[in-house]
Amino acid sequence: MALNLIIDGYNLIRQSPYLQAIEARELEAGREALLSSLAAYRQSRPGHKITVVFDGWDKGGWKESRDRRGGITIIYSRRGEKADEVIKRLLEKERNRAVVVSSDRELQDYADRVGAAWITAPQFEASHLRAGAGRSPEDEPAEEESPPRPSKKGPAHRAPKRQRQRQQRLKKL
């Protein structure tokens, strides 16, 4: 089953120190850096459909605009509509085939309600975009190692079914 990766564009840019620094210089440059990172990611996962949604509610057009570049669908919400509303419509349509990338708790809760999976913007960037962004691992802060936990066995320690299904979809990213 191919996944539809739905990305809250500005949320991802503003959660990423690398993309945020580029966007601080120029808004368009931040969007282009995100799209080029996603294009590199898409080459490794050609079966996934990628949709990036940007806010157009403040200065956008009166109609929702769509563009397609490098196999990535780009949507700008219409004036007066937030990107979150567009993402919710897409989640409602895609349901269990969708994975939303956003740190917005409201979108994460909505994804849970419709049966879609979600991943936070920093998690997605760390696990999937770093290689495509041209950054080296030395640029990133070292993660602290936690002490090993004893392994638990048996059905009493199994995660709930919805959580297991979500994890299966995230493994496909």
Q: Tens digits of per-residue pLDDT, 133-161? A: 444 434 444 444 556 666 666 666 778 88
Which helix (H) or strand (E) segment holds residue 99: the answer is strand 98-101
Q: CA 109 from chain center: how many Å?
A: 15
Q: Quick one: pLDDT band at residue 119, thresholds 50, 70, 90? A: very high
Q: Distance between CA 10 and CA 46 in Å, rounded? A: 23
Query: pLDDT tens, 46-101?
Result: 888 999 999 875 565 567 778 888 889 999 888 888 889 999 999 999 888 899 99
Q: Which CATH architecture has domain 4-134+157-171?
A: 3-Layer(aba) Sandwich (3.40)
User: CA end-to-end span of the chain, whole Å?
Assistant: 12
Burial 42-54 (b: 16+ CB within 10 A, else e): beeeeebbbbbbb
Residue spans of the domains in the chain: they are 4-134+157-171
